[in-house]
Structure 1
Amino acid sequence: MKPNIMVTQPIHRDVLDKLQAVGQVVMNPGPEPWSAEEFRQHLTEAHAMMAFMPDRIDAALLQQAPRLKTIACALKGYDNFDLNACRDAGVVVSFVPDLLTEPTAELAIALALSAARNVVTGDRLMRTGQYAGWRPILYGTGLHESVVAVVGLGAVGQAIVQRLSGFGCAEILGVDPVNQDARTTPVSLEEAVQRADYLLLAVPLTPATRYMFNEHLLGQLKPGVIIVNVGRGSVINEAAVAQGLADGTIGAYAADVFEMEDWLLPDRPRDIHAGLLESDRTVLTPHIGSAVARVRRAIEHRAADNLIQALAGEVPRDVVRAVQERGVPCASVA
Structure 2
Amino acid sequence: MSKKIVVTQPVHAEVLRTLQSVGEVVMNTGPAPWTQAELYQHLVDAEAMMAFMPDRVDAEVLRHAPRLKTIACALKGYDNFDLQACEQAGVVVSFVPDLLTEPTAELAIGLAIAAARNIKPGDDFVRTGQYEGWRPVLYGTGLHQSVVAVVGLGAVGRAIVDRLQGFGCAQILGVDPYNVDERVVQVALSTAMTQADYLILAVPLTDTSRYLIDDAALAQAKPGQVLVNIGRGSVVCEAAVARALQRGQLGAYAADVYEMEDWRLADRPLYINPVLLVADNTVLTPHIGSAVARVRLAIELRAADNLIQVLAGQMPADIVRSVIPA
Q: Structure 1-normalised TM-score?
A: 0.96
> Equivalent residue for 1:137?
137
Q: Distance in 2 between matches of 1:181 and 1:318?
A: 25
What SS class does the counterpart of residue 148 from structure 1 fall into?
A: strand
Alignment check: 8 A CA contact 2:84 2:324 kept = no
> Equivalent residue for 1:288?
288
1:263-319 superposed Cα distances (whole Å, 9 cap, x missing partner): 000000000001100111000000000000000000000000000001111111200
Q: Distance in 2 between matches of 1:117 and 1:179?
A: 31
Map 1:126-275; keep pairs closer than 5 Å.
126-275=126-275
What SS class does the counterpart of residue 68 from structure 2 fall into?
A: coil
RMSD of Structure 2 on Structure 1 (CA)? 0.8
Q: Distance in 2 between matches of 1:109 and 1:192?
A: 18
Q: Distance in 2 between matches of 1:46 and 1:169?
A: 52
Map 1:18-29; keep pairs closer than 5 Å.
18-29=18-29
1:114-149 superposed Cα distances (whole Å, 9 cap, x missing partner): 000000000000000000000000000000000000
What SS class does the counterpart of residue 166 from structure 1 fall into?
A: helix
Q: Distance in 1 between matches of 2:185 and 2:131?
A: 43
Q: Distance in 2 between matches of 1:89 and 1:240?
A: 39
> Equivalent residue for 1:43?
43
Q: Which amino acid aligns with 1:212?
A: L
Q: Distance in 1 between matches of 2:65 and 2:324?
A: 25
> Equivalent residue for 2:57?
57
Q: Which amino acid aligns with 1:308?
A: I
Q: Distance in 2 between matches of 1:313 and 1:82?
A: 23
Residue 323 of structure 2 is aligned to residue 325 of structure 1: yes
Q: Distance in 1 between matches of 2:324 and 2:231?
A: 21
Q: Distance in 2 between matches of 1:92 and 1:136?
A: 59
Q: Distance in 2 between matches of 1:134 and 1:102?
A: 35
> Equivalent residue for 2:277?
277
Alignment check: 8 A CA contact 2:100 2:289 kept = yes
What SS class does the counterpart of residue 6 from structure 2 fall into?
A: strand
> Equivalent residue for 1:83?
83
Q: Could you tell me which runs of 5 or more consecutive residues in structure 1 were left unpaired when the two chains were aligned.
A: 328-334
Q: Distance in 2 between matches of 1:95 and 1:201?
A: 21
Q: Distance in 2 between matches of 1:59 and 1:192?
A: 39
Residue 38 of structure 2 is aligned to residue 34 of structure 1: no
1:96, distance to aligned residue in structure 2 (A): 0.3
Q: Distance in 2 between matches of 1:228 and 1:207?
A: 21
Q: Distance in 1 between matches of 2:40 and 2:173?
A: 46
Residue 117 of structure 2 is aligned to residue 117 of structure 1: yes
Q: Which amino acid aligns with 2:231?
A: G
1:325, distance to aligned residue in structure 2 (A): 2.6
Alignment check: 8 A CA contact 2:6 2:25 kept = yes
Q: Distance in 1 between matches of 2:265 and 2:44?
A: 24
1:326, distance to aligned residue in structure 2 (A): 7.2
> Equivalent residue for 1:331?
none
What SS class does the counterpart of residue 2 from structure 2 fall into?
A: coil
Q: Distance in 1 between matches of 2:89 and 2:199?
A: 40
Q: Which amino acid aligns with 1:166?
A: G
1:40, distance to aligned residue in structure 2 (A): 1.2
Matched-pair identity in %: 68
> Equivalent residue for 1:3?
3
Q: Distance in 2 between matches of 1:47 and 1:158?
A: 37
Residue 313 of structure 2 is aligned to residue 313 of structure 1: yes
Count of residue correspondences: 325
Q: Structure 2-normalised TM-score?
A: 0.99
Q: Which amino acid aligns with 1:325?
A: V
Q: Which amino acid aligns with 2:119?
A: V
Relative to structure 1, is the Cα distance of residues 326 and 213 closer, same or farther in structure 2, using a 3 angstrom cutoff? farther
Higher normalized contact order (CA 8 Å, seq sep 6+, divided by chain length): 1
Q: Distance in 1 between matches of 2:286 and 2:121?
A: 18
1:170-226 superposed Cα distances (whole Å, 9 cap, x missing partner): 000000000011110000011110100000000000001001111111111111000
